[in-house]
Structure 1
């Protein structure tokens, strides 16, 4: 298995699809990956950090600790953590996270982690939801594609009147599969995931 013994950083965005990050975490673990979790701003409004800490068996990195945090009486550097990371997956990548990443606005730990990382980065979001169709968001997505960030926007409408993220669902197993494909591809090859 491609993910066996790989170290993955799960970035958790905020919004109605934050719960999906829990299922992605479990899927990565079932595939044999060791997972570290970094919370995006306001992610805990939707799913508490303790949920991720319990499942990952690791201290969860809070959004405000951009450079490091104290763990067991010792300083743990975000840069040192990122040196051990094979891939990043951000779920859900809401418009605010996409814009911050595109502009390299590292005012939270998750964006700084993305900037410190040199391997594959996957950002998953419900691309058909109306906020993601706005021209401003589309411009940010183009910047991210140009930076070789893999944008996975496959989602299924749950209700006929779905407009924003509330009415869409994404497949955790498909997101895990995208991460696995990125780790099995030569550097710089995205297998069309960014289209």
Structure 2
């Protein structure tokens, strides 16, 4: 009954997953919530206001220009009286409208007027979820403080299609809403350092050694921790994505610079080391661009070992209470992650397979991730989900572990 006496404004979007909204209404009410439904025109093509109203036990709001509902500027009242707004399903169209501030229907007007937490449960074809426009819209919304649950991987309504795009199950949405309302400041007063992205190790003034890390997972984790109230410092290698809102971001280039920046932030309550740090750097950096000359062999590059940032912090005299590392592997994933746990002094390793798959894609640079949480308590395997969903779930695990160490 963790939603007891909470007033939840449920926006039902116009996708085939709208039928799940009926079950979501029931589950929210079982947990003690009052559910106030808003249905888009598209939603009514899949489920009826009569069915939604019968389950919610109240009026269903539909029309922005309703003479009855809008005589007292009803969309503002709906937004201000709610404890949270949930959009399920959140279609690609709804994400685009919200990201661009459109308010030409009741759902859009309510979402723009809301000053309470907003939780979106996306549902769409995998191609639509992966489209660059949708990716941009999601990143913009996350930067605005909007929260997401899902989408999940699975079969689509379209025959023979599967992938990332299924709406989260109603129980998952209810759990996520509970976490937001009950634990929105769970990490208040905690200082957390997060590393993200690649490092660039210079060969000469124009060339460097690097990897394919986009920084998306690390940046998402920093944003999720900040959303739980933590004071987050993000130490980021060179990336092409914007820094998350509400996070102090320090830009570095090399592994040596990243280590120095991390050590300067100690002591901290937790350290989350997501960055794909180069293991080696050129032993010497040329002062001028190395030229390709006819008849001459390529220059021979010697390499020096970079510092292991995770191991350094894991055995540091100012070691954080909780140290979380990432293991990006292409083979023997769990064995390598377990070996890193003790060798690097970590409390937890998030293991992910970064090998190129049969489609030519990889976790590095991709939009989703499949991880295993490796600790001394065992191995927990998570289903494939968006990197943002991984970040939200991992932030909850970190909050749990810090609460355990404090008790």
TM-score by length of 1: 0.86
Q: Describe the SS at the equivalent of 2:16.
A: coil
Who is 1:57 aligned against? 57
The match for 2:22 is 22
Q: Which has the larger radius of gyration?
A: 2
Q: Tell me if the contact between 2:98 and 2:111 (Cα under 8 Å) persists in the aligned partners.
A: yes
User: Match of 1:61, SS?
Assistant: coil
Q: Does the residue aligned with 2:227 lie in a helix, a strand or coil?
A: coil
SS at match of 2:85: strand
Does structure 1 conserve the Cα–Cα contact (< 8 Å) formed by 2:149 and 2:168?
no
Asked whether the equivalents of residues 121 and 149 of structure 1 are also in contact (C-alpha less than 8 Å), the reply is: yes
Larger fraction in strand: 2
Q: Deviations over 1:99-132 (max 9, x none)?
A: 0000010001111111111111100014772211
Cα offset for 1:75? 5.0
- Classify 1:169/1:77 alpha carbon distance in 2 versus 1 (closer, same or farther; 3 Å): closer
- Matching residue of 1:116: 113
In 1, the alpha carbon distance for the partners of 2:135 and 2:42 equals 23
Cα gap change, 1:93 to 1:164, in 2 (>3 Å): farther
The higher relative CO (CA closer than 8 Å, separation ≥ 6) is in: 1
Please list, as runs of the form range in 1=range in 2, the aligned pairs for 1:39-50 lying within 5 A after superposition: 39-50=39-50
Could you say if the C-alpha distance between residues 184 and 27 of structure 1 is closer, same or farther in structure 2, counting changes exceeding 3 Å? Answer: same
CA contact (8 A) 2:79 2:113 kept: yes
Structure with higher helix content: 1
Q: Deviations over 1:142-185 (max 9, x none)?
A: 110011100122324136932589x8453110011001111012
Q: Check the 8 A contact 1:12/1:90 in 2, yes or no.
A: yes
Structure 2 counterpart SS, 1:18: helix
Determine if contact 1:149/1:194 at 8 Å carries over to the other structure.
Answer: no
Runs of 4+ in 1 over 6 A off after TM superposition: none
Answer yes or no: is 1:193 the counterpart of 2:231: no
Could you say what the CA RMSD is over the residues aligned between the two structures, in angstroms? 2.6
